[in-house]
Structure 1
Amino acid sequence: MRIRTLLALTLVTLASFNTSVSLAATRSGENVSIWFDTGGPVGGAYNTIVQNGAQQACEDLGCDIRFLYSDWSPQKMIENANRAIASKPDGLVVMGHPGDDAYEALIDEAQDSGIIVTSSDTELPRLMAEHQAEGFGYAGTDNKSRGTLLAQEALRRHPMKAGERALVWGLKSKPNRGLSTVGMIEALEDAGLQVDYMEISAELDKDPTLGMPLMTAYLSRHPDTKMILIDHAALTGQLENLLRAAGVGPNEIFAAGFSLSPATAAAIQSGYVDLVGDGQPFLQGYLPVLQVVLTKRYGFSGLNINTGGGFISRDNIDLIAPLAKQGLR
């Protein structure tokens, strides 16, 4: 009797072990195909971190992914969405720069075709509200809040007198995405500052190295500038080069922007960048892939996740800089 009992327990244990092995061997993303628009150009400082996050999610979950590059052009984002929908993947990750109206027909078509669509980096609030039950989520920051908070934190660290001059260089003309720039301007104006604004052109959006003569020209006309806020990750990474070319030394102008890169980390350490708002773009790549898989396999609705991770400065750059070199932060 005892032998039979031991045999039965052994068989149950082996069955449980085999079940565990089987479950571990089958990853939830296997046979799930995803097209992912990284937003920027091939090799871009910011969107490469987004891509790294998405690639890591696919390696963890076992899904197949194809990356798209739009040079930060809303028109290319729409074109890439068209291409992706025609290929009928299981999931499509878009960036919201073109806005709700521009995407509406395409996302309706994708949902009708059974394609799970979710968004990264820039929100599409109306479309997410309409399609959240079908898995439309968002991984990124609230753009208006992130601009406001960066400007307020910059003023807390570097108080300025009413009437002093500040420059905001951003993307105010773009729907949804431009709200970050609006938040910056409003916060600085509320503090009584004289705010100059420059719009980032499509060419500069794609290649931030083109900003050098623009920064030099601006500062030659306005040498009394005390603060510069940049609403663009790759352009923030160029700040040290831009300021050096304009004859500005470290710590002469308080400069702040968004998202870390090896270049931005070095600029913080050298005193050319004083503050960075960290949206954690790695998560903006990883989480949308996870969203598609969760919806495809288990029917989960869209998750709205704020990836904002606070601020980076000389106070904590030594901890985070090594992660930036690895393309994680």
Structure 2
Amino acid sequence: MRNLMLRATGVALLVCGAASSAYATDPTAKWCQGVKIAAFPGGPQGGVFANNVYNGYRQAELDLGPSVTYYFSNWDPNTMLNQLQQAIATKVDGIAFMGHPGDDATDPQIDKAFAQGIIFTTANTALPKAQAKYGPEGMGYVGAPNHAAGYALGAEAAKRAGIKSGDEAFVWGLKGQGGDRGSRTVGVIEAIEKAGGKVIYQEIDKATDADPNAGTATFVGVMKANPGIKLVVTDHGALTANVGVYARAASLKPGQVFFAGFDMSPNTAKAIKDGYQDLVIDQQPYLQGYLPILNLCLTKKYGFSGLDVNTAGAFVDPKNVDAVAPLAAKEIR
């Protein structure tokens, strides 16, 4: 009887041991503490979209525990490249970058970073050549598949605006920037032209890229010169947030022209409710901040490969804006 009890106790101990080994790692608070990261929100400090990305970065910093230094670039690719060189020189553990300068200009710096043991990942604008090369070492992408997102918005806007053969549409974008970012504007144009629309195109100049109010005169001029425009697409979150200003400056009434654009913001939500903005594709920029920090921490601590996440999965319009507006007011959506 005693031997049976001993054997039973031994079996119980083995089972307990197996159970405890299955849960060998307990959840750990601030598990990325001690890791140094350089993060690029993209635009001006406090600016539309850039602030949502920044809020995502800051929440990840708080949740996970790394030390993060921020670089605001006014959406200027040359500024981003100069700041990237500075970040690499500080010997951080990881860099969360926006790929606006493109592969050709950025990849030599990415090579340098990985050679020094610095993990590099991207958001908002992809660097596909570098990602293909360094994905196993932690380089991912969090954002929209830009050409597809541009095409989706252009097609949906053309459909809802009732664009027919020969109808005029004004596209205000960044085609000239080239690369993945420029491909989003190309996608918008291709979709409208496929629907039969005649595209009037205007490149967003550097001043308007940094401050959307600087483009008011440009918008008014285009609309006055082309009074038949039925559809306007603003391929820039800050310009989309300024649609109410542009429309009033051009003496447009709500609903007179169909407006479509990228990215939610408090002003965009208001423009939708006021009847000026009709359709927005939501890139969820908060995730473009939070997830790259998570990516870098997972790679640094556990050797995971890069995350690849499509954040542009939904449209916002007058029917569903009430669900998103409170989060837009907090600069989360």
TM-score range, shorter chain: over 0.9
Contact 2:44 2:72 in 1 (8 A): yes
Does the aligned pair in 2 maintain the 1:37–1:80 contact within 8 Å? no
Are residues 1:64 and 2:67 paired? yes
Equivalent position of 1:83 in the other structure = 86
Alignment correspondent of 2:212: 208
Match of 1:298 in 2: 302
Amino acid paired to 2:111: D
Q: Aligned equivalents of 2:34 and 2:65: distance in 1?
A: 8
Amino acid at match of 1:33: K
Cα distance in 2, alignment partners of residues 198 and 41 from structure 1: 22
Of 137, 156, 159, the residue aligned with 2:159 is: 156
**Aligned pair partner of 2:175 in 143, 166, 172:** 172
Deviation, 1:24, is 4.4
1:26: Cα distance to partner?
Answer: 4.2
Q: Secondary structure at the match of 1:45?
A: coil
Partner of 1:282: 286
Mapped partners of 1:26, 1:328: distance in 2? 23
Say if 2:145 is the partner of 1:134: no
1:199 to 203, 206, 213: 203
Question: Are the aligned partners of 2:170 and 2:231 in contact in 1 as well (CA < 8 Å)?
Answer: yes
Distance 1:89 1:309 in 2: 33
Aligned match for 1:313, one of 312, 317, 327: 317
* Number of residue pairs matched by the alignment: 318
The letter for the 1-side match of 2:114 is Q
CA distance in 2, matches of 1:304, 1:23: 27
One-letter identity of the residue aligned with 1:34? I
What is the Cα deviation at residue 309 of structure 1?
2.5
AA aligned to 1:107 is: I
How big is the shift at 1:160? 1.7
Sequence identity percentage: 45
Deviates more, 1:55-64 or 1:310-319: 55-64
Separation in 1 of the partners of 2:208 and 2:161? 28
Whether 2:260 is the aligned partner of 1:256: answer yes
Counterpart code for 2:79:
K
Structure 2, unpaired ranges of 5+: none
Structure 2 Cα separation of the partners of residues 155 and 25 of structure 1: 50
**Structure 1 residue aligned with 2:119:** 116
C-alpha separation in 2, matches of 1:294 and 1:47 = 24
SS in 1 for 2:49: helix
Using the alignment, how far apart are the partners of 1:208 and 1:52 within structure 2? 21
4+ long deviations beyond 4 Å: 22-26
Structure 1: state its 5+ residue gaps: none
Conserved? CA contact 2:241–2:268, under 8 Å: yes
Q: TM-score, length-normalised on structure 2?
A: 0.92
- What TM-score do the two structures reach when normalised by structure 1? 0.93
Paired residue for 2:222, among 218, 222, 227? 218
Deviation at 1:28, TM superposition (A): 2.0
Using the TM superposition, give the Cα deviation of residue 159 of structure 1 relative to its aligned residue in structure 2, in angstroms.
Answer: 1.3
Residue of structure 1 aligned with 2:246, choices 242, 247, 250: 242
Query: Which secondary structure state, in structure 2, belongs to the residue aligned with residue 247 of structure 1?
Result: coil
Amino acid at match of 1:48: N
SS at match of 1:40: coil
